[in-house]
Chains A and B, each alone.
Chain A
Amino acid sequence: MRTRISFPTLLIAWLAVVTLCLVAVFFSGTAQAQPHYLPLPSQNHALMRDHFPPGEIGAIQLHRKPELRGVWQAVEIRGPKGMRVNMADVGQFAQDLPSQARIAVMIGPVYRMRLTGIPNEPEVELYPTLEIIDRTHPPAEREHRFPIPIEIDEDDLADAARGEMVMRVIYLEDNQVAEPVDTAGKPQRVLDLQPHQDALRTADQLGRPVAILRIGSRVPNVTEGQDWDAFLFGSPAWQTLKVIPTRQQLIDEGKWPVTANSGSISDRR
């Protein structure tokens, strides 16, 4: 027996089916779109991390800031007394740099150095790398007075000679929020991090990172097939800055007016 269905009933049923389909489609779309509205993580993803291989951060910086290309940046390498520094130059290590030598390096490439004469470790040679990732903006013709200090203390050398990997990120302090401590004539202030902390990110929070120094215990091993040129990172160019005479030298040469309050401490360099 067939039951006759009236047209309004059929229409209502049809509309109900269509409504159910629309609701289903709406909720399915909402369910699919839900992942797009998830809250972002509380901490932003860092573009650069400290575990990047040498040269990676410099390359990123050059890509982000093309104006850094070809810029010479003055650095000053300091170390404990007796330590000798040799910079890689044209496939070999150059002569010893004088104490507290000021050199001009370029931003981006990685510079391989050789450290000898390490205190208490006369037989040990270390080969740290130096990577300049940003520049400073000193007044014109005064670049030599404001180099980036690359300080290597005895703890760094001892740890590296023991087999540890020491990473130093040198940053420029923000003078408006700088720590009100006197740093004149004192070693560079160092903040020791724990292994799980990102040195680059911490330095970025404290200021503007400008250089990365990595000191490890890796030594060249050419006899076992190591690429010597790759070890030196291609020996990028560097220059020795002009030696600035000290104030006493100028006084001895009669080029310094001996007055009571003339000059400043920085002019002695």
Chain B
Amino acid sequence: MTRANGPSQQIPDPYPIDGNVLPTKQFEMHSLNIMLHQRVSTGSLVVAGFLSIASGCQSRPLSWVGAKNGAKPIVTRLDQVISSEESTAPARGQVQLATSTDGVVGSETIGTAQKAVFDETKEPVAAGSQSQVVPAQYATKPKYSPIGRSSGSENVPRIAMGTQVMAIPPSASLPQRQSAFSTASHAHVQGHSHADGKCNCGGSGVYKPLFPRLSGNSGCQSCGSSSCSGGCGNAMIEQGFAVPRTSDAQEYIFDGGDHDPKVRLREDLSQAGLDAEDTVIQYETADGKTNVQSGCRVAIYAPRFASVRKRQSTQERDFAFRAQTTLRPDGPGVFRDQLPPVNVSKPVKSSNSDNVRVVEAFRDRSRVMPSERIIPMVTISDAFKPFEDFSLIRNGDFRSTDLARLAKATAAARSWTNVDELNVLIDGQEAIDVTGSKKAADVTIYEFKGARIRLCKVASDQMANPGDVISFTIRFDNVGEQPLKNLVVTDSLAPRLEYVDKSQQASVAADFSIVPNSVGSSVLRWELEDGLKPGDGGLVRFSCKVR
């Protein structure tokens, strides 16, 4: 198989002229009439011949069509003459269309050029040098690709549900069906060889899964053979990759913190900007200033689903169209008025990831805990519940040994707070993103002179379904130097939380009131009768039902 040298090759003239070729100078004759008179037949033939050749050079080579149909190619180019052998056997590194016996046209790539791209280190394996055993599971595959279906236990697709799924049925149970795309999807690469020099991967082709696999040592991914050593590096096959665990804020019920707009106090000390999910404490310092401090944020995984339904039929469509549009407004306008439009494209990463921080970000800034800070449980009916029975809730003393307990036992406490700014604990789920983690140098400076209060909120469950009852506990501590008075703890519940009547408890004397908020839930308000001396604290507790 040699490539013809175009310019030196004798070109068969499709429009031969009988030896009477006009010299060029004859076109310079002054008398056109004479020329037309004498040479009209020969000149027109020459011009027509040039025009035909020129048009043939610009057209698509007809040899491709001939090769595809198995016919002898027609030579139409002047500088590149492709013989019939070349049209059926391409040069190395050249892609051509090949016709199989059943008429299905597949694509094959053979040659060193492909090898240089995919695998530069391995040498091609000579034909017949190694016997390839084709696994039985790749012999035939379903016509429509069963996405993610694997044939062997070592080639199972990525399973994101841990051990909750059972084993995939063995490939022997797959029906023996003719694969429609097997030949078309069969990609030969350099070095892919078999015993007889031909491809016998399943007889008709290779099943190439659509989705990546986790197993990196599953052997040849193009032929499915575990013993293939020919450097089967098909760049078109996707490799398995680890997907970071993501989350969606829509699936969580948040409670706590202070969203924008922040809570501000009016002149009459009423609160403005108290949105749903906000939890703040209001206090008056010794010098007469009234401040507002927000607490930590609690996240509870509680997705809720609903559906929209549309019925269509050819008979009632027109009738329903006219009848319903005259009786009621067009569509769910109520929902559109209340809900902001949400685009189809959602961010892959959770939008609330900036609020998530790691456990290690917490640094205790409270001083030595005096004994009088231990809250006597005189006003609370029962003892501490399991999720709140640790030293921070019990007596306001944060211990480093409680970090794990805090993350584990205080279920749903994804956020935390200390004196100055918010920290977040992640409970029951992996850290999504770490932003704003405090370093040790950030917490070395501490001033005890100001009026500071710490608000901490924990929940009994980190996940819930509609109907579940969740208990919340709010702990507040005066960690400053000044005595505080006129304290008011306010919690505006999320729309999916319903306050359980008569479930609130407080460790200090407080007036409890409940008013509805703007999202259809409630605002819980505790007005403490007594102030808090430096080092004192207290807690309130209530329960909510998940709607």
Which A residues fall within an 8 A CB radius of B? 46-48, 50, 64-65, 67, 69-72, 74, 90-91, 104, 106, 108-109, 136-146, 148-149, 151, 156, 159, 162-185, 188-197, 199, 202-208, 210, 229-230, 233-237, 239-242, 264-266, 269
Chain B residues positioned under 8 Å from A203 (CB to CB): 307-308
Q: In the bound complex, what is the Cα–Cα distance between A182 and B497 (angstroms)? A: 9
Residues 194-252 of B at the A interface (beta carbon under 8 Å): 211-212, 243, 245-252
B465 and A146 form a contact (CB under 8 A): yes
Q: In the bound complex, what is the Cα–Cα distance between A230 and B148 (angstroms)? A: 18
**Beyond A67-B348, A70-B211, A175-B495, is A264–B468 a contact (Cβ under 8 Å)?**
yes
User: Chain B 10-30 against A: per-residue CB contact (8 Å), 1 yes, 0 no?
Assistant: 000000000000000000000
Chain A's nearest CB lies how many Å from the CB of B177?
A: 7
Chain B residues positioned under 8 Å from A234 (CB to CB): 142-146
**Beyond A205-B341, A208-B342, is A241–B164 a contact (Cβ under 8 Å)?**
yes
B310 and A137 form a contact (CB under 8 A): no
Selected from B159, B247, B305, B519, the residue in CB contact (under 8 A) with A148 is: B305
Interface residues on B, range: 35 or more
Q: In the bound complex, what is the Cα–Cα distance between A190 and B341 (angstroms)? A: 19
A205 and B306 form a contact (CB under 8 A): no
B143 and A149 form a contact (CB under 8 A): no
User: Chain B 417-432 against A: per-residue CB contact (8 Å), 1 yes, 0 no?
Assistant: 0000000000011100
A195 and B331 form a contact (CB under 8 A): no
A72 and B165 form a contact (CB under 8 A): yes
Instruction: Find the B residue at minimum CB distance from A169.
Output: B308
Q: In the bound complex, what is the Cα–Cα distance between A187 and B422 (angstroms)? A: 40
A204 and B465 form a contact (CB under 8 A): no
**Beyond A69-B211, A175-B251, A194-B331, is A139–B462 a contact (Cβ under 8 Å)?**
yes
Q: In the bound complex, what is the Cα–Cα distance between A44 and B144 (angstroms)? A: 34
**Beyond A69-B212, A72-B161, A185-B467, is A179–B250 a contact (Cβ under 8 Å)?**
no
Instruction: Find the B residue at minimum CB distance from A164.
Output: B313
Chain A's nearest CB lies how many Å from the CB of B324?
A: 6
User: Chain B 328-352 against A: per-residue CB contact (8 Å), 1 yes, 0 no?
Assistant: 0011100110111111111010000
Selected from A136, A143, A237, the residue in CB contact (under 8 A) with B251 is: A136
Residues 274-319 of B at the A interface (beta carbon under 8 Å): 276-277, 301-313, 315-317
Chain B residues positioned under 8 Å from A208 (CB to CB): 248, 250, 342, 346
Which B residues fall within an 8 A CB radius of A? 142-149, 157-162, 164-166, 168-169, 173-175, 177, 211-212, 243, 245-254, 276-277, 301-313, 315-317, 320-321, 324-325, 330-332, 335-336, 338-346, 348, 428-430, 461-470, 494-496, 498, 519-521, 545-547
Chain B residues positioned under 8 Å from A142 (CB to CB): 301, 463
Q: In the bound complex, what is the Cα–Cα distance between A141 and B430 (angstroms)? A: 12
Beyond the given pairs A164-B316, A265-B469, 5 more chain A to chain B contacts, judged by CB atoms under 8 angstroms and listed by A's residue number, are A175-B496, A188-B306, A191-B309, A208-B346, A264-B468
**Beyond A174-B250, A240-B166, is A194–B320 a contact (Cβ under 8 Å)?**
yes
A207 and B309 form a contact (CB under 8 A): no
B147 and A165 form a contact (CB under 8 A): no
Instruction: Find the B residue at minimum CB distance from A202.
Output: B308
Chain A residues positioned under 8 Å from B340 (CB to CB): 177
Chain B's nearest CB lies how many Å from the CB of A170?
A: 5
Chain B's nearest CB lies how many Å from the CB of A17?
A: 40
B148 and A204 form a contact (CB under 8 A): no
**Beyond A177-B495, A230-B144, A234-B142, is A139–B301 a contact (Cβ under 8 Å)?**
yes
B158 and A70 form a contact (CB under 8 A): yes
Q: In the bound complex, what is the Cα–Cα distance between A256 and B509 (angstroms)? A: 37
Looking at A148, A230, A239, the one whose CB has the most chain B CB atoms below 10 A away is A239
Q: In the bound complex, what is the Cα–Cα distance between A216 and B340 (angstroms)? A: 32
Chain A residues positioned under 8 Å from B144 (CB to CB): 229-230, 233-235
B177 and A229 form a contact (CB under 8 A): yes
Q: In the bound complex, what is the Cα–Cα distance between A185 and B547 (angstroms)? A: 10
Q: In the bound complex, what is the Cα–Cα distance between A162 and B314 (angstroms)? A: 12
Instruction: Find the B residue at minimum CB distance from A203.
Output: B308
